[in-house]
């Protein structure tokens, strides 16, 4: 929301930050909520990439008034219902290839560090292939496959379906899908790391090397490469942005829009805004917004960084700045840092050991996984760094193993805590017949267990050289841990059955957040 206030010679403006406005390459905010869909579909990004082609068999898709509510940075008043149709909307030209053809050149993408695709979907078909919700060039990266309840990925250069996740979602509700492709090699113009998000949560990331732009149009509701690509369901507000966006910049919102109010108070300025538990805020300002660019990176007001939330309304008073030039202010909201985080790049004091029953050869070790088939791929992937902790990082685990890994102390004694959550990336490769991992919380003073296990009987067959993060783990800590200084214990056990050993258990990016 925008507001302005004239105070003497100073103009103050409050903005809800959209960190990607200047980078948006295509955004279809559908202008109608009833009637048949006709072209052109207006591109609200300002780049003129309108949907000029509407292809359908006998029945045209229709507009619907059914739209999601937890949105931000959107303009559409309706959605499009492709149910029961064979239809698609596309741009006149393709996203670019190396020669720079199409509505975006590959050079633009690589200079921006990647590209982000988003779309909202609802009611995908559960009886027929629900197809591709949105695609760029010859590769669709936002589709729904299988029974309409799983997210899929299609690479159009060789008609290969890459099944990176079996994450389910509730198709009866609106879901926000996003895929972020990152790249750091403009010369190659064919390399990407890919991260998939469901409703703002990372569900998978992987590294792929392939030419990811073909000379085909950008499409909504189908795919320009494959005949089976027609989508069956509702779609809302497809958006393509230059750059690898973070979830806070998606069109999915986890909370209400921020309303920043500024008032004159003599020699001071008073600020107030609605705030949320678990968030922190920066107050930024600019006297030259055009030169300073993205409001999320405007200069900080001195001393006003990482302001803790004080729900439901934060207030702040600063001394009025000198000078008569118009000055613009913006509040930036982002997640509060976790209470505890370790990516194992440095030694933060983890301890390892063996229980009485252990007669095996495995030990917990902090290092990069070996490059010769033990543990996950040494390519850390998006959001992860080189080191991890693993049960033998250069060998298979042995029989009769019973070993533990314990974290440094984590203080949960702060007043008002109502919950704590453990999140991590992990890889596990076992025999599925008695070898498993478990997680529990210990009181640091006497190592007595607090509450039930966070997880037990963790097992799996991820296979050699799977790419991080093979699986994302997130579970609440037991309520008994609140009010205590705790230690997290990761225990791995293996029997001597089956006659075969596997890679074992590897963990990374161990995070504890609190409410």
What pLDDT, in 10s, does the model give residues 75-114? 899 999 888 776 666 665 433 333 333 456 667 777 777 7
Q: What average pLDDT does range 421-426 have in this prediction? A: 88
pLDDT category of residue 20 using cuts at 50, 70 and 90 = very low
Q: Tokens at residue 453, please?
A: 């296990």
pLDDT category of residue 407 using cuts at 50, 70 and 90 = very high
User: What gap in Å lies between CA 324 and CA 332, rounded to an integer?
Assistant: 25
User: What gap in Å lies between CA 112 and CA 243, rounded to an integer?
Assistant: 5
Predicted TM-score (pTM) of the model is 0.53
- Give Cβ neighbours of residue 49 (< 8 Å, ≥ 6 apart): 25, 26, 43, 91, 103, 218
pLDDT category of residue 12 using cuts at 50, 70 and 90 = very low
Q: What average pLDDT does range 469-489 have in this prediction? A: 89
The pLDDT of residue 11: 30
Bridge partners (DSSP) listed for residue 239: 27, 118
The pLDDT of residue 511: 92
Q: Which of helix, strand or coil describes residue 355?
A: coil
The pLDDT of residue 9: 27
DSSP string, 427-459: EEE--SSS-EEEEEEEETTT--B-SS-SEEEE-
The pLDDT of residue 14: 35
Conformational region of residue 509, where left means phi above 0, alpha means psi within -120 to 50, and beta covers everything else? left
Q: What average pLDDT does range 4-10 have in this prediction? A: 29
**111-154 pLDDT, tens digit each:** 777 788 888 988 887 665 556 777 765 555 556 655 556 665 55
Smallest Cα–Cα separation from 67: which of 169, 222, 176, 159?
Answer: 176
Smallest Cα–Cα separation from 438: which of 472, 403, 410, 468?
Answer: 403
Pairing of strands 340-342, 201-209: unpaired
Conformational region of residue 9, where left means phi above 0, alpha means psi within -120 to 50, and beta covers everything else? alpha
State how far the alpha carbon of 205 is from the alpha carbons of 237, 258, 427, in Å.
24, 30, 13
DSSP string, 373-393: SSSS-S---TT--S-EEEESS
- Give Cβ neighbours of residue 55 (< 8 Å, ≥ 6 apart): 87, 88, 89, 90, 222
Q: What average pLDDT does range 506-515 have in this prediction? A: 89
The pLDDT of residue 159: 45
The pLDDT of residue 376: 67
Sign of CA dihedral 320, 326, 331, 337: negative
The pLDDT of residue 304: 95
Q: What average pLDDT does range 407-415 have in this prediction? A: 95
Q: What is the 3-state secondary structure (H, E, C) of 181-225?
A: EECCCCCCCCEEEEEEEECCEEEEEEEEECCCCCCCEEEECCCCC
User: What gap in Å lies between CA 38 and CA 63, rounded to an integer?
Assistant: 10
DSSP string, 87-148: EEEEEEEEPP-TT--SSS-HHHHHHHTEEEEEEEEE---SSS---EEEEETTEEEEEEETTT
User: What gap in Å lies between CA 468 and CA 426, rounded to an integer?
Assistant: 8
Find the radius of gyration of the CA atoms of the chain: 26
The pLDDT of residue 94: 36
Q: Is 90 exceeded by the pLDDT of residue 353?
A: yes
* Residue whose tokens read 């370790």: 342
Helices and strands (H, E) in the chain, number of each type: 2, 35
Q: Is 60 exceeded by the pLDDT of residue 483?
A: yes
The pLDDT of residue 285: 93
Give the count of beta carbons closer than 10 Å to the beta carbon of residue 431.
18
**173-227 pLDDT, tens digit each:** 898 988 887 776 555 555 567 778 888 888 777 665 555 454 456 777 766 544 4
Q: Tokens at residue 77, please?
A: 């008043």
The pLDDT of residue 388: 86
Q: Is 70 exceeded by the pLDDT of residue 403?
A: yes
Q: Tokens at residue 281, please?
A: 């805020």
Smallest Cα–Cα separation from 188: which of 258, 98, 119, 323?
Answer: 98
Q: Report the chain's mean pLDDT, rounded to a whole number.
A: 77
Q: Tokens at residue 482, please?
A: 């609140």
The pLDDT of residue 221: 72
Q: Is 60 exceeded by the pLDDT of residue 243?
A: yes
Q: Is 90 exceeded by the pLDDT of residue 58?
A: no
Q: What average pLDDT does range 237-259 have in this prediction? A: 83
The pLDDT of residue 179: 82
The pLDDT of residue 458: 85
Domains in the chain with CATH codes = 3-17+258-334 (2.60.40), 21-249 (2.60.120.200), 340-514 (2.60.120.200)
| 229, 140 contact by CB (below 8 A) | yes
pLDDT category of residue 383 using cuts at 50, 70 and 90 = low
The pLDDT of residue 169: 76
User: What gap in Å lies between CA 339 and CA 259, rounded to an integer?
Assistant: 28
User: What gap in Å lies between CA 330 and CA 322, rounded to an integer?
Assistant: 18
């Amino acid at each position: 929301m925008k507001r302005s206030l004239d105070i003497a010679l100073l103009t103050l403006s409050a903005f809800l930050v959209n960190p990607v406005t200047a980078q948006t390459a295509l955004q279809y905010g559908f202008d109608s909520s009833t009637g048949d869909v006709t072209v052109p579909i207006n591109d609200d990004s300002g780049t003129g990439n309108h949907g000029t082609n509407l292809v359908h068999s006998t029945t045209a898709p229709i507009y619907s008034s059914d739209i999601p509510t937890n949105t931000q940075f959107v303009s559409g008043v309706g959605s499009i219902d492709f149910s029961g149709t064979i239809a698609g909307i596309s741009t006149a030209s393709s996203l670019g290839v190396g020669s720079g053809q199409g509505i975006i050149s590959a050079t633009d993408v690589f200079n921006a560090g990647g590209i982000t695709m988003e779309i909202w979907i609802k009611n995908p078909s559960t009886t027929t292939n629900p197809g591709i919700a949105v695609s760029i060039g010859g590769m669709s990266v936002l589709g729904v496959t299988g029974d309409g309840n799983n997210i899929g990925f299609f690479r159009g250069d060789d008609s290969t379906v890459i099944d990176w996740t079996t994450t389910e979602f509730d198709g009866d509700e609106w879901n926000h899908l996003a895929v972020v492709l990152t790249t750091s090699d403009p010369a190659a113009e064919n390399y990407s790391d890919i991260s998939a998000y469901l409703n703002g949560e990372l569900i998978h990331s992987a590294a792929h090397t392939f030419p990811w732009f073909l000379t085909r149009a950008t499409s909504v509701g189908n795919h320009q490469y494959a005949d089976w690509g027609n989508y069956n369901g509702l779609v809302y507000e497809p958006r393509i942005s230059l750059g690898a966006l973070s979830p806070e910049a998606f069109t999915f919102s986890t909370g209400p829009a921020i309303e920043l109010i500024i008032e004159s108070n003599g020699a001071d300025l008073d600020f107030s805004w609605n705030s949320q538990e678990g968030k922190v805020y920066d107050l930024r300002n600019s006297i030259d917004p055009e030169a300073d660019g993205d409001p999320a990176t405007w200069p900080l007001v001195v001393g006003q960084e990482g302001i803790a939330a004080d729900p439901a309304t934060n207030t702040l008073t600063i001394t009025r700045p000198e000078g008569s030039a118009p000055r613009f202010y913006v509040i930036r909201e982002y997640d509060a840092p976790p209470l505890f985080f370790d990516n194992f790049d440095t030694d933060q004091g983890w301890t390892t050991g063996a229980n009485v029953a252990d007669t095996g050869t495995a030990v917990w070790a902090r290092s990069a996984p070996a490059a010769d088939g033990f543990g996950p791929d040494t390519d850390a992937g998006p959001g992860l760094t080189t080191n991890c902790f693993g049960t033998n990082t250069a060998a298979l685990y042995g029989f009769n193993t019973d070993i533990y890994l314990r974290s440094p102390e984590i203080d949960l004694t702060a007043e008002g805590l109502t919950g704590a959550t453990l999140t991590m990336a992990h890889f596990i490769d076992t025999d599925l017949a008695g070898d498993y991992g478990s997680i529990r919380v210990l009181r640091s003073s006497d190592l007595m267990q607090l509450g039930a296990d966070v997880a037990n009987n963790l097992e799996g067959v991820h296979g050699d050289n799977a790419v991080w993060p093979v699986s994302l783990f997130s579970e609440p800590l037991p309520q008994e841990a609140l009010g205590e200084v705790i230690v997290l214990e990761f225990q791995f056990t293996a029997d001597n059955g089956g006659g075969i050993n596997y890679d074992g258990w590897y963990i990374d990016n161990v995070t504890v957040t609190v409410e």
